[in-house]
Amino acid sequence: MDENLLATAATNGVVVTWNLGKPSRNKQDQLFTEHKRTVNKVCFHPTEVYMLLSGSQDGYMKCFDLRKKDSVSTFSGQSESVRDVQFSIRDYFTFAATFENGNVQLWDIRRPDRYERMFTAHNGPVFCCDWHPEDRGWLATGGRDKMVKVWDMNTTRAKEIYCVQTIASVARVKWRPECKHHIATCSMMVDHNIYVWDVRRPFIPSAMFEEHKDVTTGIVWRHLHDPYFLLSGSKDSTLYQHIFKDASQPIDRANPEGLCYSLYGDLAFAAKESLISSDSNRKPYIGDRRHPIFFKRKLDPTEQFEYISSSSALSVFETDVESGSMDWFVHTAKQYALAGRPLAELCDHNAKVAKGLDRNQVAQTWTMLRIIYSSLGTVSSTNLNHSMGKGSTTLPLMNSFNLKDIPSGLGSESRLDRSKGESRTENILMDSSSTLINNEDNEETEGSDVPADYLLGDVEADEDDLYMMDHENPHAEEQEYSLPQEAFPLRHEIVDNPSALDHLQDKADSPHVSGNEAETVSLTPVESFSLISISHSLYENRLPSDFFNPIVRDTLLFYAEQGDVQTAVSVLIVLGDRIRKEIDEQTQEHWYTSYIDLLQRFQLWNISNEVIKLSTCRAINCLNQASTTLHINCSNCKRPMSNRGWICDRCRQCASMCAVCHHVVKGLFVWCQGCSHGGHLQHIMKWLETSSHCPAGCGHLCEYT
Amino acid sequence: MLCATLLLLNQELGIRIPRPLGHGPSRFIPEKETVQVGSEDAMMHALFADSFATLGRLDNVTLVMVFHPQYLESFLKTQHYLLQMDGPLPLHYRHYIGIMAAARHQCSYLVNLHVNDFLHVGGDPKWLNGLENAPQKLQNLGELNKMLAHRPWLITKEHIEQLLKTEENSWSLAELIHAVVLLTHYHSLASFTFGCGISPEIDCEGGHTFRPPSVSNYCLCDITNGYHGVDDIHASPAASIPTTESVCEVEALMEKMKQLQECRDEEEASQEEMATRFEREKRESMFVCSSEDEESAPTRDVSRHFEDTSYGYKDFSRHGMHVPTFRAQDYSWEDHGYSLVNRLYPDVGQLLDEKFHIAYNLTYNTMAMHKDVDTSMLRRAIWNYIHCMFGIRYDDYDYGEINQLLDRSFKVYIKTVVCTPEKTTKRMYDSFWRQFEHSEKVHVNLLLVEARMQAELLYALRAITRYMT
C-alpha cells in the first residue's frame, strides 16, 4: 500500500490520481478521461496498489492499472448509473457495484463480459455499499429509501439478514472495525448526524455524533483495526475526528417503557424483557397491585412478541370479547320491572335481575335505592326484631370498641374518597361494556385484601355513628316500630326520609367504585338493618326531606356518563316523582331518547313502548301518540275504509268478517297477509291448532307470525 | 342518437344550442390526426376511463397527451394525487393555487377548468375576484408564484423564511411543499397547453359559440396568442406538403447525431472550454426570442379573475440579466430533491420521480420516417437546453452539442413555450421540425414540461433545504 497515492473522481467524468510524494508542486499523477459522464466513485484494491476501479453515471465501471495510460477493462452494468463500487476485502477478484435503479451487481475482475450475480436491494437508488471487514459474506448497502440492509452473500441467493431503518436517505455506510455488528452511516439530506448502529438493534442507534452543521458527505474509520476513531467531512466545510467516547448515546434518553390504549380499549405495553419474564406465568400483569388500571380489567396476555436482539417485550392485552357483547342489555331490558308494584318490590326485583347478570354495581344501586326510598315494608318483623335485639345487646360493646376506632375509621374514609376520585376517571375510560363484571373472581383473590381493610374500617365507623344515635334516642325506636307493620303505602313516608343517612350512602358508594362489589354485597344486609333502626330515629329529627336526592342524582348522572343509560332511565322511571325534579328536563329527555333508540336497535319494541308510556317527559310521551293511524282497505271493494274499521261505506258490507264464526270483528282482528282472510284472534288461534289452511276455504296455507 | 334528436327538438323550440368552436382538442394539430375517442387501443381506453372517472370529463389535455399513454398514466396519477388525495392542503386551496399558477401565464384554459373545480369543492366565489380577496396566507404565496414562474433562480431561503415565519398565516413545511409542487405543476402544464395549442373545453368560456358557424372561427385565446385565421392558410401547406428543405432537415439532424456520436471520443474539450460553452449557450438562450415576439398581440388579461394590475404579468428585461449557475451536482433531483419532497409530502416524491423518468426515457426509436434511431442524444440535448436556460449546468455535458442538434426555429419554440408560453403561436409550432409527426412534437412538449417543472422544483427545494439547515 502506498500512503502517498490518492485518487479523485470528477463530475465531468475525469479520474485523476495524485502522488503526494512528488517533489514538484503539481502532485497530479495520472489523468483518465474515459468516462463520458460524472464518475460517482473510485475505489482502490485493498491489496493491489496499482489497481483502481471507477463507477460512473454512464453505467460503466472501469478498472485502471496506474502503471498504464488506459483502463485495463470495462464493465458494463447494462442498466442505469453506477453509484458505488467496492472491492471485496477477502475475495481478491470480486467487487460489488450498486446502481441507481436499486440493483446490486457482483463482478469478477477477470470477467468483464458478464456480472456474476445481480439482485435488487432497494427501492430507488442504492447510494453506497460496504463489505464487512471480517465476515466475507456480508455486504451492507444503503439507499434512498432510508434503509441500510445487510446481505449474506454466502448462499446462492443473496439473503437479507438485517435491516436498519434510518430517518433520511443513506449516503455512506462503513462497518466499524473490530465490532462485528456495528456500522456507521450518514445521510445525504436533511439529517446531519452520523450514527453508529448495532444491526441487531435496528430501531435505535447505539451511538450518535452531532457535531456537523450541514450534511455529512463522507465518513471513514481512521484505522483498519481501531474502532474508536472516526473521521468525517461535511458541507459545512469542517473535518471532524470523532472519538467514540464522545458520542452521545440515544439509548440513554429513550423511554424504556411504553404504554398505550387503543381505540377499542386494548392495552399495549412494552418494557424490558427482564421485567416481564420474571412473572410471565402470572396472568394479571405485575402492575396490578400498584396501578388500579391493571386490575380494573382482566388482562389476558393474548399476544406476546419478543425481540431477542433488543431485549424488550411487547404485550398486548385485549379486552375480553365476551364483555363486548350486549346480551346483558337485552336481558336486563326484558326482565326489569318498572311499574305496577310497590317501590321496594320493584327495587328488589331489579336488584335481583342485575345480580343475576353479574352486574353487582347496578344491583347494589337498586338495593340502596330501596333502602333510601322505601323502608321496613319488605323486611319481616321477626328479622327486624332480631336485628334490633342484636343491635341493642351489642350496643354498649360496639360503642366502646368503635370509640377507640373512630380516628382510624375517619382516616380510612378520606382515603377511600381519594380512591373514589381516581377510579372514577378510570371507569370513564372504559366503555360501558367493560370487564367489571367478569373481574370479580380475580379481584377477590388478588386485589381486594387491601381495600377490604379500608372498607371494614369504614363500615365500623359508620355503624358506630348509627348506634351512637340510637343510643341517644332509644325510646323513639319503639314508637316508630309499629308503622311499617301496618302496611302503610310506604312510599309517601319515605319521600320525606330522614336523612343523615348520607354516611350510609357514602359507604354504599365507595365499595363499588373501588371495585369490590362482592365484598359489599355480603355486607348489605347488616347495613340495611342498622339503617332501619336509625331511619326511624332520625325521622324524629325532621331532617330536610329530599336530603340525599342530590346523591341519587349524581349516581344517575354517573351511570349515564358511563354509557349505561339503561340503569339511569330505569331508576328514573321507578323512582318517578321522587327524583324527577332533581334532573333537568333536557337531560332526562336525552336519556330517554338514547335508551329508546337502543331498545329499538335491539328490536325490543314492546319494552321501548313501555318505557315511552312510563316516561314522565312530555316530549317522550308524545312519541306514542304520533303516527297511530292504521289504514285499512275494504276486503270487498278494495277501497280505503274511512270511518269505521268494520263496515265499508261504499259497498255497505261488513268488511272484517271472522272467517271462522262469520261475525263482524270489532276487537282484535288478525288476518293472513297472504290471502287477507282472518277473524277473531281467539278463533283463528283455535283454528290453526287443527289446520294450517285458511278457514275461509280459499286453499291458502296461512302463515301467522 | 337520442342526443341528436333531443338537440334537434330544442332547436325547433328556439333554444340556442352552443356550438363547439375548436377543431378537436388542439388548435395546432388537425383533428383527424389526434387519437379519436372510440378508436383507441386497450391501454388508452383504460386511461380514458380512469380520467373520466376522476375528472368527470375527458379534457383536451388528456386527448392530446394520449399520444403517449405511458406518460399519460403517470401524469394522471400524479395529478389525481395532488388534487384529490390526502395532503396537507384543503381541496379548495389546491384548486386556487392551480388557478394562481395558471393565471401567471394567462392560461385561460386551466383557469376556467379550475374555477369550476374550485367552486365545486366549496371554494368562496369572492376569492375569484382577485388575489387580494383571498386569505392573507394565499396572498403571501403570490410572490413565490411570480418568481417560480419567471425567475426561479432568484428564490432564496429568505423568501421561504418569510412564508414560514410570519406569526399568523404562516405556512407549514408540508403545506409549502404541496403548494410548490402544485405551482410548478401548473406552470409547466400551462406551457403544455400553449405549446400544443389546447382548445378550450366546450363548456368553458371561449369553447363554444352561439353564432352560426360562418361568422368567425377563432376564439378569445387565439386572439391573445396572436393566432390569426390567416396563419392557418399559410402554415398548413408547409406542414402537409414536404418540401425538399424539410426532408433535408431530418437527414441533416441524423447526420449530425451520428457525427457527434463518433467524434465524441476523439475531440476532447478542456474544462475551461466546456464552461465557456455552457456560458455561451446560456447567454444565447437569453437572446433567443422569436421574431414574432413583437408582432404578437399585446398580452390581454384573459383571466378576468385576476384583473388586479399588481398581479399582472411582469415582463423583465432579458438583456443584461445575469443568471447565476446552478451546478446540478450540488443539488440533483435524484439525490436531494426526491428525499426532501418524499419526507414532507409522502409518496409525491415517488410519483414525480416516476413521471420525470418516463418523460426523460420515453422513446419509440423513431424520428419522422426513420426507424431504429437512438434518440437519447437528442432528448438529452433538449432537456439540458431547458435546464441551461434556467442556469442549471451539468459538468459532464458538452453544451456544444446543443448548437449542433437544435436549430434556431426549434430553440425559439422551446424558449417561448418554456419561458413565455402565452406567446406561442401556431406558426412557431409549425415552423420547427416540419417533417416530424405531431405525436413527436407532443413528445417534445412533454420533455419541455417535465424539464421545466424539474428546474423550478430544484430551485424551490434548494431554497427550502437551505432554510432547513
HSE on the CB side for A110, CA within 13 Å? 3
Q: pLDDT band at A323, cuts 50/70/90?
A: low
* CA pair distance A625, B206, nearest whole angstrom: 61
* CA pair distance A484, A668, nearest whole angstrom: 44
Length of chain A: 705
DSSP state of B313: -
Residues in A closer than 8 angstroms to B347, CB to CB, are none
Number of H helices, E strands in chain B: 20, 6
Among the residue ranges A32-41, A428-437, A602-611, the one predicted with the least confidence is A428-437
| Mean pLDDT confidence for B270-282 | 73
DSSP state of B198: B
Place of cell 455486504: A139
* CA pair distance A96, A498, nearest whole angstrom: 92
pLDDT at B372: 80
* CA pair distance B158, B463, nearest whole angstrom: 8
Picking from A36, A100, A189, the nearest residue to B339 by CB comes out as: A189
Among the residue ranges A72-86, A501-515, B333-347, the one predicted with the least confidence is A501-515
CA distance B335 to chain A (A): 7
pLDDT at A636: 66
Containing A461, the helix (H) or strand (E) segment is: helix A449-472
Largest CA distance in chain A: 133
Over the range A447-480, which residues count as b (16 or more CB within 10 Å of their CB) and which as e? bbeebbebbebbbbbbbbbbbbbbeebeebbeeb
Of the residues A11, A54, A56, the best mutation for testing chain B's interface (the one with the most B CB atoms within 10 Å of its CB) is: A11
Q: pLDDT averaged over chain A?
A: 70
- CB atoms near residue A625 (< 10 Å): 8
- Per DSSP, helices labelled H in A602-631 are 605-614, 618-621
Among the residue ranges A173-177, A220-224, B138-142, B261-265, the one predicted with the least confidence is B261-265
B185 versus A705: which is more confidently predicted? B185
Q: pLDDT band at A501, cuts 50/70/90?
A: very low
Q: Which three cell numbers stand for residue A80?
A: 442505469
Containing A312, the helix (H) or strand (E) segment is: strand A312-318
**B115 in Cβ contact with B128 (< 8 Å):** yes
Q: Which three cell numbers stand for residue B406?
A: 437544435
* CA pair distance A373, A375, nearest whole angstrom: 7
| Mean pLDDT confidence for B236-263 | 62
Containing B209, the helix (H) or strand (E) segment is: strand B208-209
pLDDT at B107: 83
**A38 in Cβ contact with B329 (< 8 Å):** yes
Q: Do B469 and A168 touch (CB under 8 A)?
A: no
Q: Is the pLDDT of residue A621 over 70?
A: yes
pLDDT at B403: 82
* CA pair distance A478, A484, nearest whole angstrom: 12
Q: Do B343 and A124 touch (CB under 8 A)?
A: no
Q: Do B340 and A190 touch (CB under 8 A)?
A: yes
Nearest Cα to Cα of residue A342 among A365, A376, A384: A376
CA distance B256 to chain A (A): 19
> Which residues neighbour A301 within 8 Å (Cβ) at sequence distance 6 or greater?
A283, A285, A315, A316, A317
Q: Is A487 helix (H, G, I), strand (E, B) or coil?
A: coil
* CA pair distance B283, B280, nearest whole angstrom: 5
Among the residue ranges A109-113, B159-163, B292-296, B327-331, the one predicted with the least confidence is B292-296
User: What's the one-letter identity of residue A162?
Assistant: Y
A702 is in an annotated binding site: yes
Place of cell 503539481: A26
A698 is in an annotated binding site: yes
> Which residues neighbour A556 within 8 Å (Cβ) at sequence distance 6 or greater?
A567, A568, A571, A572, A579, A583
pLDDT at A97: 92
Containing A406, the helix (H) or strand (E) segment is: helix A381-429
Residues in A closer than 8 angstroms to B338, CB to CB, are 124, 144, 169
A45 is in an annotated binding site: no
Q: Is the pLDDT of residue A185 over 60?
A: yes
Containing A6, the helix (H) or strand (E) segment is: strand A5-9
Query: Which of the listed ranges A455-459, B19-23, B447-451 does the model predict with the highest average pLDDT?
Result: B447-451
The CA distances from residue A550 to A171, A527, A557, A615, B408, in Å, are 69, 21, 10, 21, 93
> Which residues neighbour A22 within 8 Å (Cβ) at sequence distance 6 or greater?
A29
Q: Is the pLDDT of residue A329 over 90?
A: no
User: What's the one-letter identity of residue A1?
Assistant: M
* CA pair distance B58, B166, nearest whole angstrom: 41
- Beginning with the edge strand found earlier in the chain, give each strand of the sheet holding A312-318 in spatial order: A258-261, A267-272, A312-318, A300-307
Q: What is the pLDDT of residues B194-211, one digit of tens each?
A: 888 887 776 655 555 544
User: What's the one-letter identity of residue A629?
Assistant: T
Q: Is the pLDDT of residue A191 over 80?
A: yes
| Mean pLDDT confidence for A287-293 | 35
A346 versus A541: which is more confidently predicted? A346
Sign of CA dihedral B423, B428, B433, B438: positive
Residues in A closer than 8 angstroms to B326, CB to CB, are none
Q: Which three cell numbers stand for residue A22?
A: 512528488
Rg (CA), chain B: 22
* CA pair distance B324, B105, nearest whole angstrom: 24
Q: pLDDT band at A655, cuts 50/70/90?
A: low
Q: pLDDT band at A14, cuts 50/70/90?
A: confident
Q: Is the pLDDT of residue A173 over 90?
A: yes
Q: Do A190 and B268 touch (CB under 8 A)?
A: no
HEC string for A654-704: ECCECCCCCCECCCCEEECCCCCCEEEHHHHHHHHHHCCECCCCCCCECCC
B368 versus A492: which is more confidently predicted? B368
pLDDT at A649: 65
User: What's the one-letter identity of residue A206?
Assistant: S
* CA pair distance B59, B189, nearest whole angstrom: 13
Any idea where the domains of chain A sit in the sequence?
A: 36-252, 255-278+303-318, 327-371+546-628, 629-704
Residues in A closer than 8 angstroms to B395, CB to CB, are 10-12, 38
Q: Is the pLDDT of residue B237 over 50?
A: no
Residue of chain B whose alpha carbon sits nearest to that of A167: B343
| Mean pLDDT confidence for B261-289 | 66
Q: Which three cell numbers stand for residue A262?
A: 387503543
Residue of chain A whose alpha carbon sits nearest to that of B357: A101
| Mean pLDDT confidence for A20-39 | 85
**B136 in Cβ contact with B178 (< 8 Å):** no
Q: What is the pLDDT of residues A34-45, one digit of tens each?
A: 888 889 999 998
Share of chain A above pLDDT 70, in %: 63
Q: Is B162 helix (H, G, I), strand (E, B) or coil?
A: helix
The CA distances from residue A359 to A420, A425, B101, in Å, are 19, 19, 65
* CA pair distance B313, B65, nearest whole angstrom: 28
Q: pLDDT band at A455, cuts 50/70/90?
A: very low
* Sequential DSSP letters for A121-152: --SS-EEEEEE-SS-TTEEEEEETTSEEEEEE
| Mean pLDDT confidence for A102-124 | 89
A322 versus A268: which is more confidently predicted? A268
pLDDT at B183: 92
| Mean pLDDT confidence for A197-218 | 87
Residue of chain B whose alpha carbon sits nearest to that of A171: B335
Q: Do B334 and A169 touch (CB under 8 A)?
A: no
| Mean pLDDT confidence for A151-160 | 85
A367 touches chain B (CB under 8 A): no
Q: pLDDT band at A331, cuts 50/70/90?
A: confident
CB < 8 Å from A in window 261-300 of B: 264, 268, 271, 274
pLDDT at B414: 87
A688 touches chain B (CB under 8 A): no
Q: Is the pLDDT of residue A324 over 80?
A: no
| Mean pLDDT confidence for A359-372 | 83
List the catalytic residues of B: 107
**A663 in Cβ contact with A655 (< 8 Å):** no
Sign of CA dihedral A361, A367, A368, A370: positive
A135 versus B393: which is more confidently predicted? B393
Residue of chain B whose alpha carbon sits nearest to that of A39: B396
User: What's the one-letter identity of residue A700?
Assistant: H
Picking from B339, B468, B469, the nearest residue to A188 by CB comes out as: B339
pLDDT at A486: 42
Q: pLDDT band at A463, cuts 50/70/90?
A: very low
| Mean pLDDT confidence for B298-318 | 40
**A177 in Cβ contact with A224 (< 8 Å):** yes
User: What's the one-letter identity of residue B111?
Assistant: V
User: What's the one-letter identity of residue B391?
Assistant: G
* Sequential DSSP letters for A514-571: TT-HHHHHHHHHHHHHHHHHHHHHHHTTT--TTTTHHHHHHHHHHHHHHT-HHHHHHH
Q: Is the pLDDT of residue B321 over 50?
A: yes
Q: pLDDT band at B245, cuts 50/70/90?
A: low
HSE on the CB side for B368, CA within 13 Å? 16
Query: Which of the listed ranges A20-24, A316-320, A645-649 does the model predict with the highest average pLDDT?
Result: A20-24
Residue of chain A whose alpha carbon sits nearest to that of B346: A145
| Mean pLDDT confidence for B277-297 | 57
* CA pair distance A426, A295, nearest whole angstrom: 11
Helix/strand/coil percentages in chain B, nearest 5: 65, 5, 35
Q: Which three cell numbers stand for residue A548?
A: 340525599
pLDDT at A130: 92
Q: Is A48 helix (H, G, I), strand (E, B) or coil?
A: coil
A617 is in an annotated binding site: no
CB < 8 Å from B in window 88-127 of A: 100, 124-125, 127
CATH topology of domain A36-252: Methylamine Dehydrogenase; Chain H (2.130.10)
Rg (CA), chain A: 43
A347 is in an annotated binding site: no
* CA pair distance B416, A231, nearest whole angstrom: 50
Q: Is the pLDDT of residue B413 over 80?
A: yes
| Mean pLDDT confidence for A555-564 | 83
pLDDT at B14: 56
The CA distances from residue B401 to A704, B257, B410, in Å, are 92, 9, 14
A292 versus B225: which is more confidently predicted? B225
**CA distance between the termini of chain A:** 98
Q: Which three cell numbers stand for residue B339?
A: 428525499
